[in-house]
Structure 1
């Protein structure tokens, strides 16, 4: 993606020639700007709270799964083959339910992803509107985002319009164009699926003879790791 941006920029400059070089341009650090906004910090805090709540629900479900498995192990010698089959199916079903719920919450385009978009989009819109106003006031033909995919090997502070954007948002500091220390807002990371949770091959289970005893996979209690927006 970064190479693509660089190639597109180079092609644009070559096609337009000196006319493009004569245009005014600037750059803005959108990540730094959002870090200064109370609404963004509040959104991050809400995301952290939701993420922790959902994670506790998943851990609770895993404890229930572990309890089912331990009970089965303790009573296995007393069970008939049909009873074993029924208990094993219960454990496997519970394991699948836990995985499905975890994916629903923390998976690609899951509830956490959608909630992050919902909470941060209004803040991003505010920043983009402020950037547009600054670009028009300063007659900038191009505005780069220092926090984006485009690699900026060198930046002259003269072309840094970040502080002007903060002024538009009412968040300017006394030292113009001098980014201060970033706010301590946390970014929620999508928890990783525990390595011990192996997928269940339901097709193979269905094809197995009824008389054959299936041993359910030993569930794990590994805590998923807790990710920058």
Structure 2
């Protein structure tokens, strides 16, 4: 209810603002914070790490829950065999474990739990950066209003031409690139691009893409030629190896043939000698 009142008051104030700007034509833009966050690499990486923690926390809670259920089942099965004192002791143990599980769940997933805290810590720096960039864009481009499409303010219609999410995202990426720039030349190139309008930057990006496409095409042609050369070289190598193998086999056959002839001659000679000895 309180939120609805706040939104209603915001709508009224915005309506007055639009009416005041109507005479000169209000310049309105909007951003999509969810879209921006999804396309910031650092946020995506940190979100993946946080999701890993969430899964581990859920497994811990599931494990504790199974332990509690097993203890309850054991107590139910053994109740008739236990004294009242032992039953009360078992029930106290179960209660303690249940409380520990609920406390753990609250510490991890409660309103002030680790998940909410770490999400705020993850999002806050990017939100601050987006806020500062939006202020700068609004002043430079003479915007009268800029909304967050993914926030609570209801937007009944938003022309895509007013979406400046990509402009904000480019500014974030440029800031990251400036931090990564290692030479003065790289810094000047980044600064030059920052001075370009969206249309000019789009043209530059298109030219860069054409250059990159041509480069990739050349690399592809060179790769195909290299594969062709390698194929021819491999075929020649296989042919040479086959010829060499054939020569070795023929040579071995000649050697075997000569050896066989020698053995036959020796055998004949031995037979002749034996015959001569018998005659004597």
Sort the TM-score into its range (normalised by shorter chain).
0.5 to 0.7
Q: Whose helix fraction is larger, Structure 1's or Structure 2's?
A: 2
Question: Which sections of structure 2, spanning at least 5 residues, go unmatched?
Answer: 175-197, 204-280
Query: Which of 62, 82, 96 matches 1:79?
Result: 82
Alpha carbons 1:33, 1:166 under 8 Å: kept: yes
Separation in 1, partners of 2:90, 2:34 = 52
Which runs of 4 or more aligned residues in structure 1 lie more than 3 Å from their structure 2 counterparts after TM superposition?
Answer: 1-7, 9-21, 171-175
Paired residue total:
175
Separation in 2, partners of 1:89, 1:13 = 61
Aligned to 1:130: 133
Tell me whether 1:139 sits opposite 2:139 in the alignment: no
State the secondary structure of the residue aligned to 1:155.
coil
Change in 2 beyond 3 A, CA 1:67/1:95: same
Separation in 2, partners of 1:30, 1:10 = 24
Query: Which of 25, 31, 37 matches 2:40?
Result: 37
Q: Which has the higher contact order (CA 8 A, sep 6+)?
A: 1
Query: Which of 136, 150, 154 matches 1:151?
Result: 154
Separation in 1, partners of 2:164, 2:123 = 22
Aligned-pair CA distance for 1:165: 1.4
Separation in 2, partners of 1:85, 1:76 = 10
Aligned-pair CA distance for 1:6: 5.2
Question: What is the root-mean-square deviation of aligned Cα atoms in Å?
Answer: 2.7
Aligned to 1:189: none
Aligned-pair CA distance for 1:117: 0.8
Question: Structure 1 length as normaliser, TM-score?
Answer: 0.66
Aligned-pair CA distance for 1:15: 6.8
Aligned to 1:120: 123
Separation in 1, partners of 2:18, 2:64 = 60
